[in-house]
Amino acid sequence: DQQVKQNSPSLSVQEGRISILNCDYTNSMFDYFLWYKKYPAEGPTFLISISSIKDKNEDGRFTVFLNKSAKHLSLHIVPSQPGDSAVYFCAASDQGGSEKLVFGKGTKLTVNP
Amino acid sequence: NAGVTQTPKFRILKIGQSMTLQCAQDMNHNYMYWYRQDPGMGLKLIYYSVGAGITDKGEVPNGYNVSRSTTEDFPLRLELAAPSQTSVYFCASSYGPPRYEQYFGPGTRLTVT
């Protein structure tokens, strides 16, 4: 039973446009969410996070939006750059006691020059 | 800081052989984790540790063992390797709650034939 779902295996966008990556979760106990970026042959790199007490968190070109009622979060990258081409993983945690992250399967983003 | 280091980068094992995947971190993190990533899948937690001398099972612990004798090191032991253990293994570390970001090593690609 997948608790964190990334339903789009891949996404292709033009350089300079917006990339929107989506993530859904089923466990209502999750209250902290993270996005990781992974290049081939490297480990995942932490990108941005959001707590359930917020609905938006911004860091430079990256913004994460959280819709708790829909159990949905999204990562916006504006403007997209070719160097953003990577696999993006959504992860969730239960701040109430779990040290563990549950990861989605990832979305491969390709930014075309 | 080297961050999280893993050795070896690649390894081919024969069925039934054993090996230890090494992981070390120099960030003085209390929490350490082992994940595996199969093709097209997210990261699945094998084992984790919240401090020296304390370990616990994750989602997919069968066929693996861990120990945590120091804060810095968290080796993963594979006994009697099976083809189902062919995967990419990632070690990660974090400060622990309330900081949920995990920092990953570069991974070990293991093939069991």
Three-class SS string for B26-44? CCCCCEEEEEEECCCCCEE
Q: How many CB atoms lie within 10 A of CB B39?
A: 7
Extract the tokens encoding B89.
């293994």
Question: Is the separation of the CB atoms in B25 and B72 below 8 Å?
Answer: yes
What's the pLDDT score for residue A96? 59
Nearest to A99 among B4, B42, B96 (CB): B96
What's the pLDDT score for residue B41? 86
What's the pLDDT score for residue B2? 82
Nearest to A34 among B4, B33, B101 (CB): B101
* Percent of chain B whose pLDDT exceeds 90: 87
Euclidean distance between CA atoms B54 and A41, whole angstroms: 30
- What is the phi/psi pair of residue A78, to 5°? -140, 125
Chain A hits for B90, CB-CB cut-off 8 Å, are: 43-44
- The mean of the pLDDT values for chain B is 94
A33: closest CA among A41, A42, A24?
A24
* Residue B82 predicted with pLDDT over 90: yes
Euclidean distance between CA atoms A77 and A54, whole angstroms: 19
pLDDT average, residue stretch A92-102: 76
Euclidean distance between CA atoms A61 and B60, whole angstroms: 36
Using 50, 70 and 90 to split pLDDT, how confident is the model at A1?
confident
Nearest to A105 among B40, B90, B98 (CB): B40
Chain A hits for B107, CB-CB cut-off 8 Å, are: 41-43
Extract the tokens encoding A33.
């969410």
Extract the tokens encoding B49.
């540790």
Across the interface, do A42 and B106 touch by the CB < 8 Å criterion? Answer: yes
The CA angle A43-A49-A51, to the nearest 5 degrees, is: 145
Q: How many helices (H) and strands (E) does chain A have?
A: 0, 11
The Cα of B82 is separated from the nearest Cα of chain A by a number of Å equal to 23
* Percent of chain B whose pLDDT exceeds 70: 100
Extract the tokens encoding A46.
């932490």
pLDDT average, residue stretch B26-48: 93
- The mean of the pLDDT values for chain A is 94
Using 50, 70 and 90 to split pLDDT, how confident is the model at A64?
very high
